[in-house]
Amino acid sequence: MPLTFHIETERLILREFRLEDDEALLALDSDPEVHRYLGNNTIHDIETIRRMILQVQVQYETNGIGRWIIIEKATNNVVGWTGLKYETLLFDQQNKYYDLGYRLLRKYWGKGFATESAIASLEYGFKKMQLDEISALAHIQNTDSNKVLRKVGMQLIKQFDVGTGPLYYYRITKDDWKTR
């Protein structure tokens, strides 16, 4: 039986990826503005999205965590995704780490959903998973994403450059989370 997640915030439900999320995720990942700072190409075929969903489901089983679908309670619509991922792709001599991420459909930008879902993700990581620290990356020109990461208490550690351009590396410890 696959792992399931269900987290509620004031306005959102966060839950595991399901195959029926394919159309909403295709709408998300086919938008060039959503991918503006990601350094990768948009996705335009449903089979690629379905394979990605299956990969996230494997992460649940393998790592006990993976990204979650965000659903707006008021409409029951998919907003995007959020959550933690055990990151094994190393950068700049870093060890493996738990990465906070989020990606929202453009029509939900500026509504506080990224911040609300990021807080719930950090809370889950520190309280449920008992993690000592959580990290995040954001392209230095992505001012909105950088603002969210600072707003939820993450501290800028350093800047480095990869193939996608210059990135900021953020981190928050469990102790910092408790005292924020």
At 1 the pLDDT is 47
Estimate the crossing angle of helix 22-29 against helix 46-63, to 10 degrees.
Answer: 110
67-72 and 165-173 beta bridge pairing: unpaired
Q: Look-up: residue for tokens 């008021």? A: 74
Give me the number of domains the chain comprises.
Answer: 1
Q: Is residue 153 situated within a structural domain?
A: yes
The boundaries of the domain holding residue 101 are 6-179
At 91 the pLDDT is 63
At 28 the pLDDT is 96
| Cβ–Cβ < 8 Å for 105, 80 | yes
Q: Is residue 89 situated within a structural domain?
A: yes
| Cβ–Cβ < 8 Å for 132, 125 | no
Alpha helices in 33-124 (DSSP H): 46-63, 113-123
Evaluated on CA atoms 52, 38, 120, 109, the torsion sign reads negative
Round to whole Å and give the CA distance between 148 and 154.
Answer: 9
Q: Is residue 65 situated within a structural domain?
A: yes
- Compute the radius of gyration of the chain from its Cα atoms: 15
pTM score: 0.94
Q: What three-state secondary structure class fits 132?
A: coil
Q: Is residue 1 situated within a structural domain?
A: no
Q: Is residue 161 situated within a structural domain?
A: yes
DSSP letter, residue 150: H
At 93 the pLDDT is 55
At 42 the pLDDT is 92
- CATH number, domain of 28, equals 3.40.630.30
| Cβ–Cβ < 8 Å for 79, 12 | yes
Round to whole Å and give the CA distance between 122 and 134.
Answer: 8
Burial code (b: 16+ CB inside 10 Å, e: under 16) for 44-72 equals: eeeeebeebbeebbebbeeeebbbbbbbb
**Predicted confidence pLDDT, tens digits, the chain (180 residues):** 467 899 999 999 999 999 999 999 999 999 999 989 887 689 999 999 999 999 999 999 999 999 999 999 999 999 999 999 999 876 655 678 999 999 999 999 999 999 999 999 999 999 999 999 999 999 999 999 999 999 999 999 999 887 778 999 999 999 999 998
Q: What three-state secondary structure class fits 86?
A: strand
